């Protein structure tokens, strides 16, 4: 356990995480929209012989893979954030003898966020699976029967993923509000003991 006389604990930067998650989530959704738009423009590739169209079909597959990877990245960011801030909250509460309700609240927020992260990742896996089943280049029989399920499922699950991102963004905001409450109590404890209550200001970088 750290000494109370140590440095003022550095909290996770609210504006950095919230903005970073939002921008990466928007990028992921944009990739999904672009991939879906390209797929709608291409239509059913079964029986297609035009080399140009087939090349765009390859672009559609690759953009789908990229979108899937970014979706997994966004959800992984959320999971990692809550694991890290949950541990930070526990350490600070135990070090400064704060109310254990902070730890309980942090766990509750994390538990409300994790299902959305998991469902978001499972949804993108389902989209990729539907795309693979409908891909004529795979050479499997009956792939034409999966074109419509891929279209409907892809659009629907993309909307679900976007909703999962929004829910996680809300949970991140709640966690940051909790962190601010923890820091307020830390300031009171340190101030009552005559300790430093703010971290040393960083020297601004010129140029």
Residue 199 is predicted with a pLDDT of 55
139: left (phi over 0), alpha (psi -120 to 50) or beta: left
Domain ranges for the chain, please list them. 14-189
Residue 198 is predicted with a pLDDT of 64
Residue 202 is predicted with a pLDDT of 44
Q: Are 147 and 134 in contact (CB under 8 A)?
A: yes
Residue 203 is predicted with a pLDDT of 36
Residue 87 is predicted with a pLDDT of 95
pLDDT by position in tens, the chain (length 207): 445 545 555 555 556 888 999 999 999 999 999 999 999 998 888 877 888 988 999 999 999 999 999 999 999 999 999 999 999 999 999 989 999 999 999 999 999 999 999 999 999 999 999 999 998 887 778 888 999 999 999 999 999 999 999 999 999 999 999 999 999 899 888 888 777 776 544 433 433
Does the pTM surpass 0.75? The reply is: yes
Calpha distance 66→77 (Å, rounded): 16
Q: Helix count (H) and strand count (E) of the chain? A: 4, 0
**Rg of the chain's alpha carbons, rounded to an integer?**
23
Burial class of residue 75 (count of CB atoms within 10 Å of its CB; 0-12, 13-18, 19+): buried
């Amino acid at each position: 356990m750290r000494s109370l006389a140590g440095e003022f604990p550095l909290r996770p930067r609210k504006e950095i995480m919230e903005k970073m998650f939002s921008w990466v989530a928007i990028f992921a959704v944009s990739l999904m929209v672009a991939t879906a738009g390209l797929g709608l423009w291409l239509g059913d590739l079964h029986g297609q012989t035009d080399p140009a169209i087939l090349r765009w079909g390859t672009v559609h597959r690759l953009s789908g893979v990229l979108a899937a990877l970014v979706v997994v990245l966004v959800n992984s960011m959320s999971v990692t954030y809550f694991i890290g801030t949950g541990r930070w909250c526990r350490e600070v509460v135990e070090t400064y003898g704060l109310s254990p309700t902070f730890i309980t609240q942090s766990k509750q927020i994390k538990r409300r966020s994790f299902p959305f992260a998991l469902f978001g990742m499972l949804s993108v896996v389902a989209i990729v699976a539907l795309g693979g089943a409908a891909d004529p280049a795979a050479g499997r029989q009956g792939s034409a029967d999966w074109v419509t399920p891929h279209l409907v499922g892809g659009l629907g699950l993309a909307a679900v993923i976007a909703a999962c991102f929004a829910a996680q963004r809300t949970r991140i905001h709640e966690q940051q509000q909790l962190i601010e409450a923890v820091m307020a109590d830390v300031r009171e404890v340190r101030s009552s003991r005559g300790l430093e209550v703010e971290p040393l200001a960083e020297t601004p970088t010129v140029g």
